C-alpha cells in the first residue's frame, strides 16, 4: 500500500478548504489550488480563507497557489473540490498535469447534465485513467462544522481497496473518522440525491411544515435513492450508511446546508432567480442535479416523485403548494 503524503486539493471553496485542513491536520503536505489570487494570498500569508470559512485558522502545512500544475507536482493524491457541473471543463485544463500514479478523489456530489454520468465516471473519461484509480469521499460533511473540528465520519469509496485504505489513513484525524467502501456507485448516488431531497425538505420548511413532514421526506427520499441505486448496480446496504442516510439527514436538517436553505426560499414562494439572489448568487447543486437525476431515472423506468416534484418547482414553475398536494394525494400502496 502506497502512503499518501503529498495531496493537491483543487478548489478553495468552503468544502475544499475544510477538507484541505483535515488532510493537513492528519499530517499531510497539502497544496490548495485557488482560482483567485487574493484567496491564495490569504491562505499563505494569514492562514485564513475569510470569504468561505471566516474565523477558521488554517494549519501551517496547508499552502495555496493559483497554478494547478504547481499544486499537483509530486502529489500522491489529487482531490477535486469544484462543483459537479464544472468538473469536466476544469479537468480538461488539468489532465495534463495529473501525476501518473496519483489517486484521484472526487468531493463533488452530483450527476452531470447531458451525460447523466457520476463524477467518478467523468474523471475516468476525461483523465483517461483506470476506474480503480478514482475514489469518492462522501458522508455527512458540512464544511463549517468540520473546519471547527466537530466530530464526524465519512466514507471513501474506491474499487481498489488498497487505494481506499491509503487515503483513509491520509484524512483520518481526532475529529474526522473515515470508513472505506467499494461501492462507488451507491456512495456517489447517495451524495447526489441527498441534495435534491434537501431541497424538498427546505421547501417544506419554507411552507411552515415541521418535523413529521421532514422525516417523511427523508424516509421516502431514501427509498427513491435506493431504487435508482439498485437499478444502476449499487449495494442497497450502502444507503443505510454514512453515504446514504448519514449524508441525507445532515443535509436535510441543517441550516448550514445550502440546498436546504435554497429550498426554504422556494417554499416561501420565491422564484429560482429570487432564491439564487437570496443565496448570495449561488445556485445549490441539487437545482441542476435534479434535471439529470430525473432523466437518469426515466431511462431506467424508476419512479422518483419527490425528485420530480423538486424538478418541476425549480424548472417548470410548479408552486410549492401544488407539489405538496401531488405528493400527499398519490395513489395509495404498500410501503
pLDDT per residue, tens digit, the chain (335 aa), is 679 999 999 999 999 999 999 999 999 999 999 999 999 999 999 999 999 999 999 999 999 999 999 999 999 999 999 999 999 999 999 999 999 999 999 999 999 999 999 999 999 999 999 999 999 999 999 999 999 999 999 999 999 999 999 999 999 999 999 999 999 999 999 999 999 999 999 999 999 999 999 999 999 999 999 999 999 999 999 999 999 999 999 999 998 999 999 999 999 999 999 999 898 776 689 999 999 999 999 999 999 999 999 999 999 999 999 999 999 999 999 99
CA dihedral in degrees (221, 272, 292, 238; nearest 10)?
-30
CATH fit for domain 185-328, picks 1.10.1040.10, 2.60.40.10, 3.40.50.1820, 3.40.50.2300 = 1.10.1040.10
* Cell numbers given for 168: 483513509
Q: What are phi and psi of 142, to 5 degrees?
A: -75, 120
- 194 in catalytic set: yes
State residue 279's pLDDT score. Answer: 82
CA atoms within 13 A on the CB side of 32: 36
Which candidate in 21, 117, 194, 288 is catalytic? 194
**CA-to-CA distance for 117 and 185, rounded, in angstroms?**
11
CATH 3.40.47.10 correct for 6-182: no
Vertex 179 angle, CA 178 and 181, to 5°? 140
Where do you find CATH 3.40.50.720 in the chain? 6-182
Give the Cα-Cα-Cα angle 256, 103, 135 (nearest 5 degrees). Answer: 50
Sheet holding 134-138, edge to edge: 62-65, 29-33, 6-10, 77-80, 103-106, 134-138, 152-158, 176-181
Residue 7: per-residue pLDDT: 98
Longest dimension (CA), the chain: 61
Cβ–Cβ < 8 Å for 24, 12? no
Residue span(s) of the chain under CATH 1.10.1040.10 come to: 185-328
CA distance 171 to 20: 9
Amino acid at each position: 500500500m502506497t502512503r499518501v503524503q503529498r495531496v493537491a486539493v483543487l478548489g478553495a471553496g468552503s468544502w475544499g478548504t475544510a477538507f484541505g485542513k483535515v488532510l493537513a491536520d492528519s499530517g499531510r503536505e497539502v497544496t490548495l489550488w485557488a482560482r483567485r489570487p487574493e484567496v491564495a494570498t490569504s491562505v499563505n500569508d494569514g492562514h485564513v480563507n475569510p470569504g468561505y470559512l471566516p474565523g477558521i485558522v488554517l494549519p501551517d502545512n496547508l499552502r495555496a497557489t493559483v497554478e494547478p500544475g504547481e499544486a499537483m507536482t509530486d502529489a500522491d493524491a489529487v482531490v477535486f473540490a469544484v462543483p459537479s457541473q464544472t468538473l469536466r471543463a476544469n479537468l480538461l485544463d488539468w489532465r495534463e498535469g495529473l501525476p501518473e500514479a496519483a489517486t484521484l478523489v472526487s468531493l463533488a456530489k452530483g450527476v452531470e447534465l447531458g451525460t447523466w454520468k457520476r463524477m467518478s465516471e467523468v474523471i475516468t473519461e476525461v483523465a483517461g485513467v483506470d476506474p480503480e484509480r478514482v475514489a469518492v469521499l462522501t458522508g455527512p460533511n458540512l464544511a463549517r462544522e468540520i473546519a471547527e473540528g466537530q466530530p464526524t465520519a465519512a466514507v471513501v469509496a474506491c474499487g481498489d481497496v488498497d487505494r481506499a485504505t491509503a487515503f483513509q489513513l491520509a484524512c483520518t484525524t481526532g475529529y474526522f473518522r473515515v470508513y472505506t467502501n467499494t461501492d462507488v456507485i451507491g456512495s456517489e448516488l447517495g451524495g447526489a440525491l441527498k441534495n435534491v431531497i434537501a431541497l424538498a425538505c427546505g421547501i417544506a420548511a419554507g411552507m411552515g411544515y415541521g418535523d413529521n413532514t421532514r422525516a417523511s421526506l427523508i424516509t421516502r427520499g431514501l427509498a427513491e435513492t435506493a431504487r435508482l441505486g439498485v437499478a444502476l448496480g449499487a449495494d442497497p446496504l450502502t444507503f443505510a450508511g454514512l453515504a446514504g442516510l448519514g449524508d441525507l439527514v445532515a443535509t436535510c436538517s441543517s441550516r448550514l446546508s445550502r440546498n436546504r436553505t435554497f429550498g426554504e426560499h422556494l417554499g416561501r414562494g420565491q422564484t429560482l432567480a429570487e432564491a439564487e439572489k437570496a443565496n448570495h448568487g449561488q445556485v445549490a447543486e441539487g437545482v441542476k442535479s435534479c434535471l439529470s437525476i430525473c432523466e437518469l431515472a426515466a431511462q431506467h423506468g424508476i419512479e422518483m416523485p419527490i425528485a420530480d416534484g423538486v424538478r418541476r418547482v425549480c424548472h417548470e414553475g410548479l408552486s410549492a403548494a401544488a407539489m405538496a398536494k401531488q405528493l400527499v394525494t398519490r395513489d395509495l400502496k404498500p410501503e
